[in-house]
Structure 1
Amino acid sequence: MTTQHGLLADKVVLITGASSGIGAAAARVFAAEGAQLVIAARRADRLDELVTELRGKGTEVVSSVMDIVQADDVRRAVDLAVETFGRLDAAFNNAGIGGDQNAMHLMDDSVYDSIMETNVRGTWNCLRYEIRAMLENSAGGAIVNNSSVGGLQAIPAAAPYVASKHAVVGLTKAAAAEYAAHGIRVNSVAPGVTRSENIIDWFQRNPELEAELHAATPQARTARAEEIAEAAAWLCSDRSSFVTGAIMPVDGGYSMV
């Protein structure tokens, strides 16, 4: 449900990992809900295409090429929001990686390092700079981190990913507790398997895995990226004004089985 003017009308929102998948879907959903956007990702060409698309529909949007592992990149994206729109009201920290699936004893250190660096340090970088900007805003703000059902329970053959997403949950709760008194809410979405370019390709190569996932999910399907984006939009909006420190599964019931 939205208001006449949109769930995020007059909100300035930063979205990371916006060049594809859930991030690109979030840019479109948030724009439709009236947000002014800073979209950030590593692929400049994809960002340019999305900016052109959204501006064609009347959205005020700018882009920032950013690797969340690099603190200076994150700072520049947050500064761009403040310089362009005067403040930062909300952020969807969506960027992250999955990594190879393999037994723990067979994984190379580089896999662990890469996943933890991106998913944990990247979220840490985003939180620090976003919170600093929101502390300058008398209205506070709202931050949504993208975790995973892997942040709620174990997934076989994905130990570093599971560890990283549990850490994102921990950072979410820690920041929520620390900044609630400042009017800053911090929550997380925990998606189940969500259809994207990579997942569709994976299912095409392993059709039996798609059937197994559907069988393990009460709603018997995988998510559309827009469904994750809709949940994040609500958590970024004033409709969730008394919600902080929450980890919202968006997984068709998978994590409750």
Structure 2
Amino acid sequence: MLTLSRGASVVIADDDRRDAMTVEDPLKDAGFRTTLITEFDPDMDADAFLASLVGKYDALICDHVLSSHGRVRFTGAEVVSKANLHGEAPLPAVLISSHINTTQQGSISRWRKGIPQVVSKTDLSEEILPAIDYTVAELNGDFARERRVFPTPIEIIDVAPEGEVRQAKVVVVGWRINTPVWMPLDPILEATGLRTESLAGQWLDADVNCYARKAEDLYYSNIALSPELPQGWLSA
């Protein structure tokens, strides 16, 4: 079982040193040892950056946008997701961001499966320690209700293949049948092998965290094309 006792080492990755120090204060008060990373190698991808951390630290706190002072080849969301899903030796990681509910939300949603919790920078002092505990619990298999996945049909309404993060407008039947939401397109393309222009109107089966409180907290996995549904199924 993964454990993270007070006194463990936590690395904080943020290109804004003042923000990194704001995260550092409550961690130090709780007894954690901290290291700050505020500069990033522009030649490193997310996997290389993560490899530089694994085995050296017990947990990671990472900002989402790391490129305000120069070119960076990855987002914090990608690093955090890959850290938490790192095979048999995950590195517990929490994503922090000042871009929740902005145009950057799509790039967070792309990696949401491996991000148990996103903490707004405005709430760091109160939420960072509970977020660490929440993440460690999930990595030990204790998923919160809003993170548990259930099989559900998904209808693709539209696609937006342009932009930094390609998206699909979908109805997740097991979540809110009358509320279309935008979710990452690439996992659908990778799972089905279909062309973008043929997706609208398609039905999928997937595992989705149907108890998520907000659309931006949804994630899906095990995506597959759905068998043809009986006529009149939705109106029955």
If the TM-score is normalised by the length of the shorter chain, which range does it land in? 0.3 to 0.5
* TM-score, normalised relative to structure 2: 0.44
Relative to total residues, which structure has the larger helix share, 1 or 2? 1
Relative to total residues, which structure has the larger strand share, 1 or 2? 2
Where relative contact order (Cα < 8 A, 6+ residues apart) is larger, the structure is: 1
Larger radius of gyration: 2
